[in-house]
Each structure stands twice: as C-alpha cells, then as structure tokens.
C-alpha cells in the first residue's frame, strides 16, 4: 500500500508545471502517460460541475487506471481507481477514440458526470 502512495505522489509530480509555465491539460496528461508507460484513454470537459472542469484517464493495461481531474482553480488531482468504474471509463474511452463526426453526435457529458459522482462517492475528488 505504501508503494502505491509513493507511486501516486510521483505521478502527481509529473503532472506539475515546468519552470512556472502553465501547460495545457491535454499536454500534461499526455506527458504523464508517456513518462509512466500508460496510454491516454480519454480527456473530456466536465460541464456544470462547481469544482472540476476537466477529467482524463490513463490506462495501464491489467495494472489499472488513473483518473486526473483539473479543478476550476487549475490544480490537478489524481487517483488510482478500481474495476467498479470500468464500464464508465470504457464508454468514455470509446467516445474519445471515435471519429469527430461521431463525437459530435454522441453526448459524453452524462457519462463524465456519472463517473465523477461515482468517484466522489468512493472517496475521490470530494467537493471543496
């Protein structure tokens, strides 16, 4: 368990700003995925939430998934998640991988809100 906490802390550091520059969220997530040998599953806006404006997932195959949220103030938070959110993560990953024409037709916002709510209920990303 301690090793997981250390790994999560190192992962959060890799998402930090470099030399005071505020890089775009998508670049920071992609960089973290590359540095930790993961792959970006999705990167979406979270509309209507009072605390969170963006959410992304990085997958590590059988090892698991990390969810990263960007709060309204620009701070990033991340958490490792378990299988009870797998269906929602898979749905958002499929939406993200679909052609732009399909993305425009299918609304992902409900799924993103459900995932965030489920994560909050399990103790992640509580409202501030």
Number of structural domains the chain divides into? 1
The string of DSSP letters for 39-64 reads EEEEEEE-TT-SSEEEEEEEE-GGG-
Is 96 a member of any domain? yes
Edge-to-edge strand list for the sheet holding 76-81: 39-45, 52-59, 65-71, 76-81
Is 42 a member of any domain? yes
Q: Which ranges in the chain belong to alpha helices (H)?
A: 2-14, 25-35, 86-97, 100-105, 109-121
Residue 23 has a pLDDT of: 76
Is 128 a member of any domain? no
What is the pLDDT averaged over residues 77-82?
82
Is 85 a member of any domain? yes
Is 114 a member of any domain? yes
* Residue 92 belongs to domain spanning: 2-121
88 close to 111: Cβ distance less than 8 angstroms: yes
What is the pLDDT averaged over residues 91-97?
96
Tens digits of per-residue pLDDT, 53-71? 999 999 988 888 889 999 9
pTM recorded for the entire structure: 0.84
């Amino acid at each position: 368990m301690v090793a997981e906490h250390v790994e999560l802390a190192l992962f959060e550091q890799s998402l930090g700003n470099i030399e005071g520059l505020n890089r775009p969220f998508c670049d920071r997530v992609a960089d973290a995925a590359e540095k930790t040998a993961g792959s970006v599953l999705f990167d979406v806006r979270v509309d209507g939430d009072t605390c969170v404006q963006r959410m992304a997932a990085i997958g590590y195959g059988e090892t698991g998934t990390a969810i990263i949220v960007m709060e309204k103030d620009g701070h990033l938070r991340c958490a490792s998640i378990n299988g009870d959110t797998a269906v929602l993560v898979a749905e958002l990953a499929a939406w993200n991988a679909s052609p732009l024409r399909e993305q425009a037709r299918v609304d992902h916002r409900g799924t993103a809100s459900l995932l965030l709510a489920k994560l909050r209920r399990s103790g992640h990303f509580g409202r501030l």
